[in-house]
Structure 1
Amino acid sequence: MKKNRLVIVGAGSTYTLGMVMSLIAEKENFPLQSLTFYDTDAERQNRVALATKVILAEQYPELETFNYTTSKQEAFQNIDVAFIQIRTGGLAMREMDEKIPLSYGVVGQETCGPGGMAYGLRSIKDMIELVNDIRQFAPEAWILNYTNPAAIVADALQRIFPNDQKILNICDMPIAIMHSYADMLDKDVWDLVPSYFGLNHFGWFTKIEDKSGQDLTELIKDKMIKEGFKPTDNEIANDESWQKTFAQARQMLIDFPDYLPNTYLQYYLYPNQLAQKEQIDNTRARQVINGRQKRVHQLCEQITADQSTANVELEVDVHGIYMVKAAASLIYNLNEIYIVMVENKGVISNIPEDAMVEVPALLTVNGLKPLAVGQIPTFHKGLIEGQLAYEKLVVDAYFEGSYSKALQALTLNRTVVNADTARSILNDLIEANQGYWPTLK
C-alpha cells in the first residue's frame, strides 16, 4: 500500500493532537511516509510539534519523517495530501465575532449569523492563497479543507477554482452527531449509513440505516424524544455548551418531526432563545480559551517535559478519524460514502444548481460522486434558500468589496432579520476586523 506525504495546515490548533492520534490509529489503512506541520504562528505550532515528536517516537516509529515549518515551500513541496484547519485572527477575533452580535441581543456564534460572516470574510483570502501555494508546489495533491465557516469558504473556493477536482470541503459535525446515534443504539458509528441533505451546519438526516440495510431512523427519533440526546464524542462529551446544544436537538425534533436535525439548526430556529442564553462576558470563545486551549497547552508541555506520554491520557477523536478515513477513500479508491460539500448540479433538484450543498457522496480516486437527493419539502427548501442567499451575498461582498451586499446578507440571516440591527452589527464588525476584511464601500 502506497505511503503518503501529508501536511497539516494550521498545525498549532488545539485539535491537532487528536488528528495525530487518529493518524496513528489508522496507520494500517492510511500509512504515512512523512508528516509535516505548517502554521504561520511558529510559537503556537512549536508547542504542539514538540509534543507530537514524543508521541510519534513512541507510537509511530515507522514514520520516516516528521517536520514542522513556517515555510510554504518546505511544507507543500511534493505532498500527496493537505489537511487544512486554519483560524484567521485566532480565538481573539472569534471572541469579537461572538461579543459584537450579543451586544445587540443577536446570536453570538463562530459559524452562524454575524459571527459566521465575520469569520468567513477573514478566512476567504487566506484559503485562496493557501490553495494557490499548494498547487504551485504539489499540483496533484488532495486538499481536504475543514476550515470554518465551511459553507462560505467552499463557495469562495468554488468560484476561484471551479475546475480543481481535488479539493474536498468537509465538516465533522454530521459524524459527531452520528456518534451519538451509534452510542444510543449500542452500535459502531462506522456501521451507520446516513441519508442527509442541506448546507453546511444547516441540514437534516432523512434516514439512518446500518450496513445490513436495517432502517434505524424511527428508533433513533423515539429514543431521542423519550431518553434525551447528548454528545458522546470524546472531544465534546463533557462540554456543558455542547450538552445544551444536543439537548436542544430533541426540541427541534419534537417541533419538526420529519427529519433528524443538524444541531446547528438551533441558532436559526430559536435565535432569540439562544441569544438570551449566552453571556457576553463568558462567550463560547472565552470558554475555549480557558478550557480546551489551556488543557491542550498543558498537555503538550507535560509531554515535552516528560519526554513521554506515560503520565497523560491521549484520545482518538471521531473528527480526526473521519478526515483520515475520507482521505483513504480518495487515495485508495475505496468508494466509501461520506457527507461532504459539493456543487449541487441537480443533486437537490429544486434548489439552485450552483449551491454548495452538503450531501452523502462516494469518495473515489477520480473525485466525488454525490448521491441524488431529489426534491425536498417546502419548509426545508425555504430555509435552505434563505441561508444560501445569505452565504452567496457574503462571498459577493468579499469579492466586490460591497457594503450593500454585506448588509443584505445580515438582514436575510434568520439570526438577525432586522435591517437596523444588521447595520449596527455590520458597522461594529467592520471596525473590529480592520486589516482582516476587504474594504467594504
Structure 2
Amino acid sequence: MMLKLVIIGGGSSYTPEIIEGMIDRHDQFPVTEIALVDIEKGKQKLDVISRLAKRMVKKSGKDITITASLDRRNALKNADFVTSQIRVGGLKAREKDERIPLSYGALGQETNGAGGIFKALRTIPVLLEVSKDMAELCPNAWLINFTNPAGMVTEALLKYGSHKRVIGVCNIPFNMRTGVAEILGCQTEDVEIEFIGLNHFVFGRRVLVKGVDYTSIVIERLKDPSNQYSPANIVSEGWSSTFLSSFMMLPNPYHSYYFKGAEMLEKSLKEYWENGTRAEVVQQVEEELFKKYDDKELTEKPTELEKRGGAFYSDAACNVMTSIYTNKGDIQTVNVQNNGTISDLPNDAVIETNAVMGGEGPRPISIGTLPLSIRGIIQLMKNMEELVIEAAVKGDRERLYQALVINPLVREETLAKDLMEELLDAHKEDLPQFYQQV
C-alpha cells in the first residue's frame, strides 16, 4: 500500500525533524514516499535537505523514497498528507517585519504585532493556491499547516480555501507540556493541559497528571523564575506571583509580548542594537545548520536545530498524521474551527484547543464560556485576526489599518498608519493584492 507525504517548503531547516519523525513512527505510519517541494529561490537548500533526508532514510533501513521537486502540482498528485512550512519572502522579509516596528519603538516580532500581521498577509494568498491545487489533485489528503501565524493561516484556509481538510499545529502547547513535566519531574505523556484560546494566545486552564489535578502546584512552582517553558526565540524571566495567583492559569511564552510589553520592548531593542534582529540571528543559525546538513557524513538531525525557535513543530505534525492514519483517538492540541467549542467566539473562528484525533480528523473537546478574566482580550484578538484575514484575501487597506489599530502591540492610530505604509512598501513584491488596479 502506498502512503505519500508531501512537504511544502521542503528546503526548510525544520525538514530533518519531519524525516526523523517519519522514521521513528514508520511502524505505525508506514509512509512509502516523502516528496519535498520548494520554489526556485529555495532550490539550493532543497538539494541539501534532500541529500540529508536520503542519508537518514538509508541509515534507518526503512523503505521510504525521497523525492525533491520545484513542481508543486506534480508532487501533490495522489498525496495522502501534506504539510506546510513556508516562509514567503524568506528570512529577509522576517527581518523587515521585526526591524521596521522596532524603528518606531514598537515590538517587532514575526508572528505578533505588525510583523505577524504582515507575515499573514504574504502567506495566506500563497496557501490558498496550494488549497486549490489540493482540491483538484489530492482531495482526500489532510493539510497539516505549521506555517505561522498558524491560527490565522488555518482560519483563512478553512474560510476561503477550496480544500477543507486542514489542521493547524504549533509547538507552544508541546513546549508547555514538556516544561510542566520537567517542573513536576514526571513523563510528558502523563501530563494533560486543558488549553483554551488562540494560537500564540492560548492559556492552560487546568493541569492533570494521570487524571489528578496539579494546577495549583504548577502555578506555585512557576513563581520560581527558573521554572519556565520558553522556546529559543522568546527569552522569559518568568511571571509575578500576583499575576499567576490572580489568573490561576498557565500563560504561554508569547503572552510576554502582551502582558510584559515594556520589558519585552526594552529587551528587543537592546538585542537589536547589540546583535541585530532575531531574523539576523536565525540567518546565522541557519547558515551553520546547512553547513552541517551538507556534511556527507551526517545521517541524523543535529541537536543544533533546537536553537531554532520553532523546533518541535514538526514533531507535533507527525503526531497528528499518525493519529489520523491509525485512528488512535488520543488527545492533541491543534488549531481547528470552533463550531461551538468556545461559546463566546464565532463558529467559523479557528481556535487552539484540545481535540480527540482519529481517522475523521480532530473532534474538539467542549470548553463552554471563557473565563471572564480573559474573555475580552481573546475576543479582541480574534476580531483582529478576522480583519487581517479579510485584508489578506481582498487586499483591503481599510481592514488592514483597522487590524493594526486594535492590535494591542500597535494601538496608536498614527503609528498604525505609519507602520502600514512602510511595511506595505517594504513587502510590495510579495503583496500584489494591495497594488492591483481597480
TM-score for both structures, normalised by structure 2: 0.91
Give the Å deviation of 1:313.
5.6
Q: Is the 8 A contact 1:38 1:68 kept in 2?
A: yes
Q: Is the 8 A contact 1:229 1:249 kept in 2?
A: no
Is 2:33 the counterpart of 1:34?
A: yes
Is 2:402 the counterpart of 1:404?
A: no
Question: 1:68 is paired with a residue of what secondary structure?
Answer: strand
Q: Which whole-Å CA distance do the structure 2 matches of 1:415 and 1:314 have between them? A: 31
* Percentage identity across paired residues of the two chains: 27
Other-structure match for 2:336: 342
2:266 alignment partner AA? Q
Question: 2:430 is paired with a residue of what secondary structure?
Answer: coil
CA deviation vs aligned residue, 1:391-427 (integer Å, no higher than 9, x gap):
1111121233221111111010000110001111111
2:37 alignment partner AA? Y
Cα 1:183–1:318 shift into 2, 3 Å? farther
1:79 alignment partner AA? A
Cα 1:323–1:403 shift into 2, 3 Å? same
Other-structure match for 1:44: 45
Is 2:114 the counterpart of 1:119?
A: no
CA deviation vs aligned residue, 1:206-250 (integer Å, no higher than 9, x gap):
11112x311121221121113632348xxx5xx4x43x23x3356
Give the Å deviation of 1:71.
1.1
Is 2:252 the counterpart of 1:257?
A: no
Is 2:139 the counterpart of 1:146?
A: no
Give the Å deviation of 1:265.
1.2
Q: Is the 8 A contact 1:253 1:261 kept in 2?
A: no
Give the Å deviation of 1:251.
6.8
Give the Å deviation of 1:254.
3.3
Q: Which whole-Å CA distance do the structure 2 matches of 1:389 and 1:414 have between them? A: 12
Give the Å deviation of 1:154.
1.7
Is 2:188 the counterpart of 1:189?
A: yes
Is 2:90 the counterpart of 1:70?
A: no
Between 328-337 and 269-278, the greater mean CA deviation after superposition: 269-278
Give the Å deviation of 1:253.
4.6
Q: Which whole-Å CA distance do the structure 1 matches of 2:102 and 2:70 have between them? A: 36
2:221 alignment partner AA? K
Question: 2:428 is paired with a residue of what secondary structure?
Answer: coil
Cα 1:213–1:123 shift into 2, 3 Å? same
Q: Is the 8 A contact 1:326 1:363 kept in 2?
A: yes
Cα 1:313–1:176 shift into 2, 3 Å? closer
Kindly report which structure 2 residues correspond to 1:131-280, keeping only aligned pairs within 5 A, or say none. Answer: 131-161=131-161, 164-210=163-209, 212-226=210-224, 228-231=226-229, 236=231, 239=232, 241-242=233-234, 244-245=235-236, 247-249=237-239, 253-254=243-244, 256-279=246-269, 280=272
Is 2:293 the counterpart of 1:300?
A: yes
Cα 1:257–1:165 shift into 2, 3 Å? same
1:220 alignment partner AA? V
Give the Å deviation of 1:300.
0.7
Q: Which whole-Å CA distance do the structure 1 matches of 2:362 and 2:23 have between them? A: 26
CA deviation vs aligned residue, 1:248-272 (integer Å, no higher than 9, x gap):
3567853743210111111122223
1:427 alignment partner AA? E
1:180 alignment partner AA? G
Question: 1:6 is paired with a residue of what secondary structure?
Answer: strand
2:19 alignment partner AA? V
CA deviation vs aligned residue, 1:107-159 (integer Å, no higher than 9, x gap):
10000000001100000111101121122221111111111011221221122
Cα 1:336–1:298 shift into 2, 3 Å? same
1:259 alignment partner AA? M
Structure 1 gaps of 5+ residues are none
Kindly report which structure 2 residues correspond to 1:81-96, keeping only aligned pairs within 5 A, or say none. Answer: 81-96=81-96
Give the Å deviation of 1:103.
0.6
Other-structure match for 1:384: 378
Q: Which whole-Å CA distance do the structure 1 matches of 2:4 and 2:305 have between them? A: 23
> Number of residue pairs matched?
425
Between 369-378 and 391-400, the greater mean CA deviation after superposition: 391-400
Structure 2 gaps of 5+ residues are none
Question: 2:333 is paired with a residue of what secondary structure?
Answer: strand
Give the Å deviation of 1:3.
5.9
Q: Is the 8 A contact 2:11 2:45 kept in 1?
A: yes
Q: Which whole-Å CA distance do the structure 2 matches of 1:69 and 1:208 have between them? A: 44
